[in-house]
Copies of this chain bind each other. A is one copy, B any other.
Amino acid sequence: MINKESVKIVEDTSVMDAFSIDCVVFGFDNGILEVLLVQHGEGISEGKWALPGGWIKKTESADNAAHRLLGELTGLDNIYLEQLKAFGEPDRFPLRRVITIGYYALLKREDFNVKAGFTASDAKWYKINDIPNLIYDHNEILAFSIKQLRNRVRQAPVGFNLLPEKFTLLQLMHLYEEILGIEMDKSNFRRKILHMKLLLALNEKQQDVSHRAAKLYKFDSKIYEKLTQKGFNFEF
């Protein structure tokens, strides 16, 4: 009883509806860690807030799908992205069985402000401690992503993806404080981070600040490569 038509339907359905991507996009602005949420415009969850996401195309990998979807949302194409895991509760999606692959992304707010804005008209940044009720299991995915970010940030210098190219040591410290939810000692942080020799000191200072201008640093990925080879960690 299977004709060509039904076989075609089989393929489309299994590809288009069965796997989805959901993405937790982190940004860091004014010392605050935020997440980019979108408002659902159609269907049963109209008006509710959700993680940005979409369907995986038949010919693309999950990673590529996540990059594509984020590109469509933000206009950026070199976003730092890592898979969290698959979320596969049978009833997580009300209409049918959909397994979603969660990702988290780290982006520089300055880049986002330049590139997006008009494309992402239904998107809004929410403070990490001020997240509304999200559709489906998106609150769970978000909670998992924060746990994961806290872990990763202490093992590898992924946090740099949230900062501008050039940053001060105090900005970096505030980033760690905000992500990990702890307070740090300026002097000790300085000694520790400089001792790692992961930062490139620039011959530049902050401009237009109403206090003593701080030296600017830059994250040197070549130095990082060398350090990851022989293993290191970022405990604070």
Give residues in A with beta carbon < 8 Å to B: 1-3, 5-6, 9-10, 13-15, 17-19, 56, 58-63, 65, 83-86, 88-90, 97, 99, 101, 151, 155, 233, 235
Roughly how many angstroms separate A17 CA and B97 CA in the complex, as a whole number? 13
A90 surroundings in chain B (CB, below 8 A): 58-61
Cβ–Cβ contact B9 & A97, under 8 A? no
Is the pair B62, A86 in contact by a Cβ cutoff of 8 Å? yes
Inter-chain contacts of A89 with B (CB < 8 A)? 61
- In angstroms, Cα B62 to Cα A85, docked, is 11
A61 to B86, CA, bound (A): 11
Contact yes or no, A97 B1, CB < 8 A: no
Q: Give A12 Cβ to nearest chain B Cβ, in Å.
A: 9
A151 and B228 CA atoms in complex are apart in Å by 14
Q: A19-B99, A235-B235 are in contact. Are A9 and B2 (CB under 8 A)?
A: yes
Docked CA distance A10–B97 (Å): 12
Apart from A6-B9, A63-B88, what are 16 other A-B pairs with CB-CB below 8 Å?
A1-B5, A3-B6, A6-B10, A9-B10, A13-B13, A15-B97, A18-B18, A18-B19, A19-B88, A56-B88, A56-B99, A58-B97, A61-B90, A84-B85, A88-B101, A99-B101
Bound-state CA distance A235–B155 (Å) is: 11
Q: Which residues of B contact A85 (CB under 8 A)?
A: 83-86
- In the assembled complex, the Cα of A84 lies from the Cα of B62 at a distance in Å of 15
> Which residues of chain B are within 8 angstroms of A99 by Cβ–Cβ distance?
19, 56, 62, 99, 101
The docked-state distance in angstroms from the alpha carbon of A101 to that of B101 is 10
In the complex, what residue of chain B is closest to A15 when comparing beta carbons? B97
Tell me whether A13 and B10 are in contact in the complex, defined as CB-CB below 8 angstroms, given that A62-B86, A90-B60, A233-B235 are known contacts.
Answer: yes
Interfacial chain B residues near A86, Cβ < 8 Å = 62, 83, 85-86, 101
Contact sample, A vs B, 13 pairs, CB 8 Å cutoff: A1-B5, A2-B5, A3-B6, A9-B10, A10-B10, A10-B13, A13-B13, A18-B19, A19-B99, A61-B88, A83-B85, A88-B101, A99-B101
